[in-house]
A and B are shown apart, each in its own frame.
Chain A
Amino acid sequence: GENVEQHPSTLSVQEGDSAVIKCTYSDSASNYFPWYKQELGKGPQLIIDIRSNVGEKKDQRIAVTLNKTAKHFSLHITETQPEDSAVYFCAASNGENYGQNFVFGPGTRLSVLP
């Protein structure tokens, strides 16, 4: 089955700097790669996702890049703000089995220091 690794496990950046979180996956059949943000006391919030037919997607200060050959994808946050502090999860799925193949990474705790 699919295995998703995520690095780093913790990340501290100064406000205004960029943050990059990287995930690798094992199943070459995976075709959907979302990123979730989870703040304290809340459920994970879908912030951006990418399908396997594109290499990059941007939404304001957030971007995701995908390298299918190397089986890795990354979340890029530019001009970080204190409200970006949260735990970020990546995931990978091949869309089969009614979502049972949806596998999450272990998470990255991002701290944005003012």
Chain B
Amino acid sequence: ETGVTQTPRHLVMGMTNKKSLKCEQHLGHNAMYWYKQSAKKPLELMFVYSLEERVENNSVPSRFSPECPNSSHLFLHLHTLQPEDSALYLCASSQDQGGYEQYFGPGTRLTVT
């Protein structure tokens, strides 16, 4: 148990659905991250929130929308996804705002049909 929880653990959604992934950290950290892990690809950083402020990441499609209401919670809102968006979505947190010592949650396995 790393102190970072994610729900749901598995999600199947159609291309026209809207869903949200939730992450909660119990470590008192100041920064939170969303990563995408696809088969045969390195982990890809999607979004960073530092002290609840979003650091822009221009390479992520607008069908992914993050939200950080407070330093313990992070959401990833999904809408009109594509089948290639199927992947493991990982949340992480760190005390340091430079990304050092990131602790990951178990991930949400997303399948887009």
Contacts and interface: CB of A to CB of B under 8 A. Distances in A.
Contact of A46 (B90, B96, B101, B107): B101
Interface residues of B, number: 29
A46 B94 CA distance: 11
Contacts, number: 77
Q: Chain B at the A interface: mostly helix, strand, loop or mixed?
A: loop
Given A44-B43, A45-B2, A104-B43, A99 B101 contact: no
Given A44-B90, A106-B42, A101 B107 contact: no
B99 A102 contact: yes
Contacts of B97: 98-99
Interface residues of A, number: 26
Interface of B: 2, 4, 6, 31, 33, 40-43, 45, 48, 50, 55, 57, 90, 92, 94, 96-107
